[in-house]
């Protein structure tokens, strides 16, 4: 008996023919989107479609990000069995009570989390080096990334610096994730790897960190 799959209808420009669709709402207007655009070119995955929903007009608080995702979800028809919605936010930019409220609301809606502590640049840094720290400020993290990458300035993500190192970043992020079941890292780390490894389609398996 054939498996029934709900017919999906999405906004213009979104190809709904893929087996799985991943929608990621982000704090940044360009940085995260630029990174995932690079990822989609390097790791072409015929089974997964990835769409980044960036912040708009500088509105990057967790409340605005989840609102963007809610609005997108309400405007479109999706298949809850195979499509995923992700919230990609930074832990240390916002008051903890505000952060926890948004995380709780997202959990109730069945959203996934790709939280970075302190910021998305932590994920970018792991393309180059390991991290063994309990705390790092966002400012220091950006300085470390700039040194490791030989330059970094938001919102530009120079693709050639990252595209060959994605697999290493996944493995480094997993190695420092002491409790993957938690909704966010409580020490320096990032759960961005959880969505990135879906995007690369298992191409990271059985490869060692370079």
Domain boundaries, the chain: 20-199
Mean pLDDT, rounded, for 169-193: 94
Cβ atoms of 87 and 112 closer than 8 Å: yes
Taking only Cα atoms into account, the Rg of the chain, rounded to an integer number of angstroms, comes to 17
pLDDT of residue 1: 36
Which of the residue ranges 155-159, 173-177, 199-203 would you say has the lowest mean pLDDT? 199-203
Tell me how far CA of residue 124 lies from CA of 6, 105, 134, 145, 173, in angstroms.
36, 27, 18, 7, 10
Asked if residue 2 has pLDDT above 70, the reply is no
pLDDT of 110-148, one tens digit each? 999 999 999 999 999 999 999 999 999 999 999 999 999
Q: What is the mean pLDDT of the chain?
A: 87
What's the distance, Cα to Cα, between the start and end of the chain in Å?
A: 46
Which of the residue ranges 90-99, 116-125, 197-206 would you say has the lowest mean pLDDT? 197-206
Contacts of 12 (CB under 8 A, 6+ apart): none
pLDDT of residue 10: 77
In 10 A of CB 13, how many CB atoms? 6
pLDDT of residue 82: 87
CA–CA gap between residue 99 and residue 93 (Å, rounded): 9
Both tokens of 208, joined, read 């060692």
Model pTM score = 0.88
CA–CA gap between residue 98 and residue 105 (Å, rounded): 11
pLDDT of residue 76: 86
């Amino acid at each position: 008996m054939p498996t029934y799959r709900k017919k999906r209808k999405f906004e213009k420009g979104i190809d709904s023919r893929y087996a799985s669709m991943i929608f990621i709402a982000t704090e940044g207007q360009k940085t995260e989107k630029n990174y995932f655009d690079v990822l989609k070119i390097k790791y072409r995955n015929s089974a997964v479609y990835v769409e980044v929903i960036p912040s708009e007009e500088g509105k990057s608080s967790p409340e605005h990000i989840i609102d963007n995702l809610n609005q997108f979800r309400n405007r479109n028809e999706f298949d809850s069995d195979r499509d995923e919605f992700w919230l990609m936010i930074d832990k240390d930019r916002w008051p903890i009570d505000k952060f926890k409220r948004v995380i709780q609301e997202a959990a109730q809606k069945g959203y996934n989390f790709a939280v970075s502590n302190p910021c998305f640049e932590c994920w970018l840094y792991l393309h180059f080096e390991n991290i063994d720290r309990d705390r790092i400020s966002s400012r220091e993290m950006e300085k470390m990334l700039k040194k490791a990458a030989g330059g970094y300035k938001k919102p530009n993500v120079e693709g050639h610096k990252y595209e060959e190192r994605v697999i290493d970043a996944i493995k480094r992020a997993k190695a420092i994730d002491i409790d993957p079941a938690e909704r966010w890292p409580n020490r320096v780390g990032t759960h961005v790897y959880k969505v990135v490894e879906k995007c690369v389609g298992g191409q990271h398996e059985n490869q060692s960190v370079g």
